[in-house]
Structure 1
Amino acid sequence: MEMKTRINLELRNRAPEELTQLVLDNCRCVNGEIEGLNDTFKKLEFLSMINVELSSLARLPNLNKLRKQNLKNLKSLDLFNCEITTLEDYRESIFELLQQITYLDGFDQEDNEAPDSGAEDDEDGEEEDEEEDEAGPPEGYEEEEEEKRGGGR
């Protein structure tokens, strides 16, 4: 269901000015943008847009009553392909606003890359496997030697 249609259903014959909560989870947005939500939602305190595949907040209206959601467990945030990343000093602003996060776009405040323990283990394992292959006999070598000796299977 498209976001605009979902908003109309959620209104349930109420005026946008009366609405304090709006749940738009799992609806489709057009071109990755918010559609159907505007400044008339003056009393909106709670807005949920989980899994709507937004790529831009450019059309997000000014919702003065919207309360900050508690993100106390948020440690890492990726904002790749979001317009906010084009703003000057956006990283500093995000780290200031969300002081609980450790990593933004895969890097901490000092630009140290976030550890990826899974990738490191895989790389080490691949290197060891390659070394073992180089040190051992080539594939099928033992079978060829056995056939040369006349003891084929």
Structure 2
Amino acid sequence: MEMKKRINLELRNRAPEEVTELVLDNCLCVNGEIEGLNDTFKELEFLSMANVELSSLARLPSLNKLRKLELSDNIISGGLEVLAEKCPNLTYLNLSGNKIKDLSTVEALQNLKNLKSLDLFNCEITNLEDYRESIFELLQQITYLDGFDQEDNEAPDSEEEDDEDGDEDDEDEEEDEAGPPEGYEEEEEEEEDEDEDEAGSELGEGEEEVGLSYLMKEEIQDEEDDDDYVEEGEEEEEEEEESLRGEKRKRDAEDDGEEEDD
């Protein structure tokens, strides 16, 4: 895809003056020059044109708010003085993987007074003797060269810092959405457990009372049954005694009759 078409695609129905970041990596530069990018992109702060076969910066528009410029893996060999004229506020410049060979080419970057980080990794200039010392001496405004300062301390990754800030914001949002802290939920659960235990104990007492009353009723019923059984037994004994007395009287009467006959 040609650069001009890619720019129209990346706009996504926005006006150029509304765009602060523009990534055009891996598109195609016709004749090695910038196309479709103009001064209307006045709010642009980050521009990436990596691997677009760019050989010249002559058609770079004025981008006064541009802070970061990615030009890695192109075929740029010179003409860097345009950067100080068109993008005077650059703080980060990546020229790794280009055709930059000598210090005189890089000397044009001295006018970028705000430049803090420069990347020339995988350019032929890195093969020069005392390359790092020479660049730091030539461009005294920079702090990092190829990702490291003069004491070989690694440069912080601004994108990672942004991600960390974003993660912290996400965590705060998640905590807000989550509601009360974990301890609060645990307290609620403990209270619920206590209520359940109390209810259970009350239920247990109630069951014990029911069980006791049931047993008492059974005992009373057993006693009543025993009384009934005793009464029935006594009645039977009385009946037997009466029958025995009747038989005795009958025998006595018979004996008296026999005596009279005699």
Q: TM-score range by the shorter chain?
A: 0.3 to 0.5
- In the alignment, the residues of structure 2 paired with residue 83 and residue 96 of structure 1 have an alpha-carbon distance, to the nearest angstrom, of 19
What's the CA shift for 1:12? 0.5
CA spacing shift, 1:70–1:3, aligned 2, 3 Å: farther
- In the alignment, the residues of structure 2 paired with residue 18 and residue 138 of structure 1 have an alpha-carbon distance, to the nearest angstrom, of 41
CA spacing shift, 1:132–1:78, aligned 2, 3 Å: same
SS at 2:22 equivalent: strand
What's the CA shift for 1:104? 11
SS at 2:32 equivalent: coil
Structure 1 window deviating more from structure 2 (96-105 vs 55-64): it is 96-105
CA spacing shift, 1:131–1:76, aligned 2, 3 Å: same
Provide Cα deviations, 1:93-151, integer angstroms capped at 9, x if missing partner: 986774599999999999999999999999999999999999999999999999999xx
Q: Which blocks of at least 5 consecutive residues in structure 1 are unaligned? A: none
Structure 1 window deviating more from structure 2 (20-29 vs 71-80): it is 71-80
TM-score, normalising length from structure 2? 0.29
Structure 1 window deviating more from structure 2 (119-128 vs 39-48): it is 119-128
SS at 2:147 equivalent: coil
The structure whose residues are more often helix, as a share, is: 2
1:55–1:81 CA contact under 8 A, matched in 2: no
- In the alignment, the residues of structure 2 paired with residue 145 and residue 71 of structure 1 have an alpha-carbon distance, to the nearest angstrom, of 140
- In the alignment, the residues of structure 2 paired with residue 3 and residue 81 of structure 1 have an alpha-carbon distance, to the nearest angstrom, of 25
CA spacing shift, 1:54–1:137, aligned 2, 3 Å: same
- In the alignment, the residues of structure 1 paired with residue 133 and residue 240 of structure 2 have an alpha-carbon distance, to the nearest angstrom, of 64
What's the CA shift for 1:25? 0.2
- In the alignment, the residues of structure 2 paired with residue 92 and residue 81 of structure 1 have an alpha-carbon distance, to the nearest angstrom, of 17
Q: Which blocks of at least 5 consecutive residues in structure 2 are unaligned? A: 68-109, 185-237, 246-262
- In the alignment, the residues of structure 2 paired with residue 2 and residue 91 of structure 1 have an alpha-carbon distance, to the nearest angstrom, of 36
Q: CA RMSD in A?
A: 20.3
1:57–1:83 CA contact under 8 A, matched in 2: no
- In the alignment, the residues of structure 2 paired with residue 8 and residue 91 of structure 1 have an alpha-carbon distance, to the nearest angstrom, of 40
TM-score, normalising length from structure 1? 0.48
- In the alignment, the residues of structure 2 paired with residue 130 and residue 148 of structure 1 have an alpha-carbon distance, to the nearest angstrom, of 105
Structure 1 window deviating more from structure 2 (114-123 vs 24-33): it is 114-123
What's the CA shift for 1:64? 0.5
Ranked by relative contact order (alpha carbons within 8 Å, sequence separation 6 or more), the top structure is 1
Structure number with greater Rg is: 2
What's the CA shift for 1:53? 1.3
CA spacing shift, 1:50–1:146, aligned 2, 3 Å: farther
What's the CA shift for 1:82? 13
Provide Cα deviations, 1:22-52, integer angstroms capped at 9, x if missing partner: 0000000010000000000010000011101
CA spacing shift, 1:115–1:49, aligned 2, 3 Å: closer
Paired residues in the alignment total 148
Structure 1 window deviating more from structure 2 (93-102 vs 49-58): it is 93-102
- In the alignment, the residues of structure 2 paired with residue 145 and residue 128 of structure 1 have an alpha-carbon distance, to the nearest angstrom, of 101
CA spacing shift, 1:50–1:128, aligned 2, 3 Å: closer
1:95–1:101 CA contact under 8 A, matched in 2: yes
Identity percentage over the alignment? 91
Superposition misfits of 4+ residues, deviation over 6 angstroms: 69-97, 100-149
